[in-house]
Amino acid sequence: MQEYLQGLNDSQREAVLHRDGPIMIVAGAGSGKTKVLTTRIAHLMASGVDAFQILALTFTNKAAAEMKERVTHILGNNEARNLYIGTFHSVFARILRAEADKLGYPRNFTIYDTDDAKSVVRTVVKEMNLDDKHYKANTVYNRISNAKNSLITPDEYINDFGLQQEDMRANRPLIGQIYTAYCNRCFKNGAMDFDDLLLKFYQLLKTHPESLSKYQRKFKYIMIDEYQDTNTSQYEIIKLLGAMYENVAVVGDDAQSIYSFRGATIENILQFQKDYDEVKVVMLEQNYRSSQNILHVANHIIANNKGQIPKKLWTSNIEGEKINLVRTATDNDEGKYVADAIQEQKLRNHYRNSDFAILYRTNAQSRSFEESLRRMNIAYRIYGGISFYQRKEIKDFLSYLRVIVNPGDEEALKRIINYPARGIGKTSVEKAVLYANEHNISMWNVLERAAEFGYRANTLETISNFVVMIKMFQSELQKKNAYDLAILVGKNTGIVKDLFNDKTTEGLARYENLQELLNSIKEYTETPTEDGELLDKSLGSYLQQITLLTDADDDKGESDVVKLMTIHAAKGLEFPVVFVAGLEETLFPNAMAINTREELEEERRLFYVAITRAKNRLWLTYANNRYRFGNLTQNEPSRFIDELPQERLDKSFAGGNMRNNQTNYWNAFDRPKYPGENQKKEAKTEKPAYLVSTPVIKIKEHIPSPDFAPSDTSNLQTGQKIEHQKFGYGEVLKMEGAAHNPIAIVKFEHNGEKKIMLNYAKLRIVE
């Protein structure tokens, strides 16, 4: 048996050894799917399959790089460099570069990110004299994006009665015309947006039989990771590419299908067996990530879904601690509780900040956690904020580089034509756009021929100087690598000087960001492949690489910070300790996603994904009262709490006076009893729950004795009496823990039994 097969369990080995014919690998959370995929690729290559014939598609560049690295490690050679491994968008962009002329695009076409695409939408809406408050760029762009992901062209959109009726009901009847104008503008600019990389590749295969045959023969073995996240266009492309040999291997988990809002459809994986004859199905059900308690809770939750492939994850890991279910008075108390718990776990179990993740349903929930973590001086990072590459100074500089590669890129051109300020005003720019539209040429063509369009002498000279500068940069494209050309741009445009002269705090940050960008370009040009050979280090290659980066690729995992993110952003990640916050009706499940059983089941899958991110410890929290949209609202616990197996939970409440009239909100708990609650109630003078702040566990505060001085506890013994600054007097019941990290179990007179870490606690030995 090959050595690389020895570390696999029976199901994993079965998936790896299957060679020809379609196979669906249903990989439960934490079941080692990446290991199976990479070992399967390595086994194909070890069995004589040419690396050039293998196509592996993922959803992040980070996952693709990890797969290629693992294959290289398994085989012990550099053949993995010949594999086509990458995201759908990066692989298809690579092919489209070579085939662009068949679709009428230049090979150096620009790839518009979401911001660029929305900017084009705004331009089109303005030119059509439509109300931009009604035809909002975000709304229109999402509509166009959904159409493209469903392989609906502008003509098909306009002729689709159902879509037109939807637009009429939304009082946006002209979206079809905007879609048409948007596509025409992108084509004229020599640009594709992210969705075009799928749509145009599909059109290439459908309308050019020679290209379809070429890539069907080229990719004899196809593997798709996270198949449950594929949309209609990705599904149809795979069907076309795999039709000749049908050696299609899909890996995924229907229980983790959570991206319907992006166009992903769970039916792709649920119906895979109907798409091919004699599909082999392998179930990976052994979980290597989570404790038994965490996994039991996850299984219990997802069992409530009807639309799924039946499976039950199991693990040989330890049983682990019970899941902590914590109810708090307010969202601020929820934030404080989580920060306190993180600090306690760091002290007690020597966790690092990076071992913790706080997950929530919506980005707006991060505020209370940020405030509490800052107060306790705990380093954190929010994922899903402004990407480095979306910052203004970065976009400005990259726009120069984009125009050098593709001068037809109107969005980039408009951004830089008067930055730094050179006297080409808004009116002159608008004239250039108008002339370009009237003569059906690019804005760059107008600038090149500015003398023909009646510009005044001083403006004409400025435009001419700008054009000459860009052409000078273009003349260096074939001579200089991306970094050397970027340095030339920085010096000659005045961008670096402009940012350097801004001595404000914000200005300094922008200058540092630009330096970081230049550093990243230098790193790109100097990073060799595994065999020491430099790849294509041209400016065009660099721009494509950064344009196709995803949020997950931005994280290098180097900082010791607590990670805050939405559950959607957390998919594919794992953490020793996880807090899932905001388990309240209308928040989680979200009020916008409970109108149908399908929507509710996706929310439940989202909860399942959140739970299965945790390895060792899991907290679930929710608040009685939460500020939403500026108003304090009372919340009912999430229906998902009722679905939790109660015997696996450790329930508590924190951060407020729970003695109030909201007894109906205890449907997930046994209603707590409070001292004297059966006595005749006094006149109601107490503050509302959300205005009262009490500790998580009620502690009888102790005033240290006047002669309190910490003792040497290195030889502390069972039975000794001690004084604690906060908990008071107690007796040592037991000593445990390692010699370098001793723990004393102490019974305090007024505060019960507690575990005290002697390396951190200050105790006075009384006797």
**Which residues are catalytically annotated?**
33-34, 225-226, 256, 613
How far lies 385's CA from each of 363, 517, 579, in Å? 9, 18, 20
User: Are 225 and 57 a contacting pair, CB within 8 Å?
Assistant: yes
Q: What DSSP letter does each residue of 615-651 carry, written as one string?
A: EEEEEEEEEEEEEETTEEEE-PBPHHHHTS-GGGEEE
User: Are 563 and 357 a contacting pair, CB within 8 Å?
Assistant: yes
User: Are 452 and 439 a contacting pair, CB within 8 Å?
Assistant: no
Pairing label, strands 54-58, 221-224: parallel
The structure tokens listed for 132 are: 């931009």
Show the CA angle centred on residue 51, arms to residues 45 and 56, nearest 5°: 95
CA distance 634 to 535: 58
Pairing label, strands 323-330, 649-654: parallel
Peptide bond into 106 cis (omega under 30): no
Contact partners, residue 233, CB within 8 Å, separation at least 6? 148, 149, 150, 151, 195, 198, 199, 202
Q: What burial letters (b/e) apply to 508-528, b meaning 16+ CB within 10 Å? A: eebbebbeebbebbbebbeee
What does DSSP assign to residue 724? E
The structure tokens listed for 386 are: 């402004």
Q: Which amino acid is at 604?
A: R
CA distance 712 to 82: 63
CA distance 423 to 411: 19
Tally of helices (H runs) and strands (E runs) in the chain: 30, 21
Q: What DSSP letter does each residue of 576-617 carry, written as one string?
A: EEEEE---BTBBTTBGGG-SSHHHHHHHHHHHHHHHTTEEEE
Q: What DSSP letter does each residue of 511-561 carry, written as one string?
A: HHHHHHHHHHHHHHHH---TTS------HHHHHHHHHT--HHHH--S-S--
Residue 182's Cβ-count burial label (10 Å; 0-12, 13-18, 19+) is buried
What does DSSP assign to residue 317? S
CA distance 474 to 487: 14
Residue 737's Cβ-count burial label (10 Å; 0-12, 13-18, 19+) is middle
Question: If we measure between CA atoms, which residue out of 286, 301, 297 comes closest to residue 320?
Answer: 297
Rama region for 389: left / alpha / beta (φ>0; ψ in -120 to 50; rest) = alpha
SS (H, E, C) 348-391: HHCCCHHHEEEEECCHHHHHHHHHHHHHCCCCEEECCCCCHHHC
The structure tokens listed for 185 are: 């503008």
